Amino acid sequence: MRARSSSRVAAVLAATVASAAFGSCVRQPDPLELDSDVVSVAIMLVAGEREAFLLAAHAHRQSDEDPPTLAAALRGPGWTATFSDTVELRACTLTEAQNRPGPEMCLRAVLPEEIRGGEKYGIEGTAPIGPFSGEVVLPAVPILIEPGDTLHLSTPTDYEDHLLIPLRYRIGSDVGTLLADVLDIFRLEEDGTETELEPHYVGDFSRPLEGPEADTVRIEYFGTRPLRFSLRLLGIGWNHTNFAENEGIFPLPRPWPSFGIDGEGVYGYFDGVVPSRVSRVWVQ
């Protein structure tokens, strides 16, 4: 069964999305900082998915208070989908609500079609203080040139604990952050069965790729059992990139960077992530 792309993307982005979603990006002494009704909003669309999730919080309230009362709808090419389902926070963050300020909620919208790279999307909503809106054009699909559709590697020697996979790719200027993503990881056991492993088993992939056309992925490998997994790239737009880079900065530099969302009593980001094709990797 195919792993849900949005869940895997959320796992890869956990180090930035969950923490930056409610970072201190408000311009002091902006009245937003003083009003407990202010809502922090994080929306990350995932190309290929037919669901969208919105993470909202009263970042200036105590965690045992009520979460925000918020209505929102996503606009796509010729359609509108309402964020009408309240779901568990793990659907937005893949983590429990720990070490993040304020009461939170996760809303879901079921979409009439898959999110597409290169497409424009808008959002409109109402928060306790007033209305908000935003717009984003998702990046085009990153082109993974190497490795090809399949890659066979030998297990490391007794003195090594990792593998290096050279990458070559092509991305457009609409990509603000490029990540490598490893998913569908299976280890072959001695009895011939396979055990599925969590992504952290083979490394930390929260570090953005830095080369404009090439970089290297480090795969942690402990043991001698054969391993197989899928490798792809994730292209993230500039709204989230700007938000993460300016988290906690006071005062924000002028001209103020765009995070894709504006409104009365609302701050946060509205962006998208677009996966590349998948390369299948075997380690034997």
pLDDT tens track, the chain, 284 positions = 333 454 456 444 543 444 444 444 444 445 455 578 888 899 999 999 999 999 998 877 877 788 888 999 999 999 999 999 989 888 887 544 445 667 888 999 999 999 999 999 999 999 988 999 999 999 999 999 999 999 999 887 766 788 899 999 999 999 999 999 999 999 999 898 999 998 888 888 888 999 999 999 999 887 778 999 999 999 999 999 988 887 666 556 666 667 999 888 888 899 999 999 999 999 98
- In this prediction, residue 133 carries a pLDDT of 95
Q: Which pLDDT score is estimated for 33?
A: 53
Contact between residue 180 and residue 209 where contact means Cβ atoms under 8 Å apart: yes
Instruction: Check residue 247 and give its pLDDT.
Output: 67
Cβ–Cβ under 8 Å, residues 221 and 204: no
The pairing of beta strand 266-275 with beta strand 39-46: parallel
- What is residue 8's predicted lDDT score, i.e. its pLDDT? 52
Q: Is the dihedral of CA 77, 85, 47, 111 positive or negative?
A: negative
Contact indicator for 115, 136 with CB cutoff of 8 Å: no
Three-state DSSP class for residue 148:
coil
User: To which residue do tokens 């790719």 refer?
Assistant: 169
This prediction has a pTM of: 0.85
61 neighbors 104 (Cβ within 8 angstroms): no
HSE at residue 45, side-chain half, CA atoms within 13 A, is: 34
pLDDT for residue 174: 96
